[in-house]
A = this chain, B = another copy of it.
């Protein structure tokens, strides 16, 4: 299983603009057949710091998500309000 932490940094004055876009992105992504988990959190110390915690079966499923209609439509609308570039960590579970 592939896990992902994606972090967005939104300008303070744009938080209310991006919230409905995030909500649609989460709702549509969770309907993807290959989506295992797609949770969106907000940093308690920074209301413009949004953190996705994702789980996918493999890289192909993540790539399909990133090519989906909802992703390619909504993410540029969100990114227009960034104050700095998003970051991404692709992770494996701890080896046992």
Please report A residues at the B interface, Cβ cutoff 8 Å.
3, 5, 19, 22-23, 26, 39-45, 49-51, 53, 89-96
Contacts and interface: CB of A to CB of B under 8 A. Distances in A.
B5 A42 contact: no
Contacts of A51: 5, 89, 91
What is the predominant secondary structure among interface residues of chain A facing chain B? strand
14 contacts: A3-B39, A3-B53, A5-B51, A5-B53, A22-B94, A23-B96, A39-B93, A41-B91, A42-B91, A42-B94, A43-B89, A43-B91, A44-B90, A51-B89
A44 to B, nearest CB: 5
Given A41-B93, A42-B93, A43-B91, 19 more contacts: A3-B39, A3-B53, A5-B5, A5-B53, A19-B95, A22-B94, A23-B94, A23-B96, A26-B94, A39-B93, A40-B94, A41-B92, A41-B94, A42-B91, A43-B89, A43-B90, A44-B92, A51-B89, A51-B91
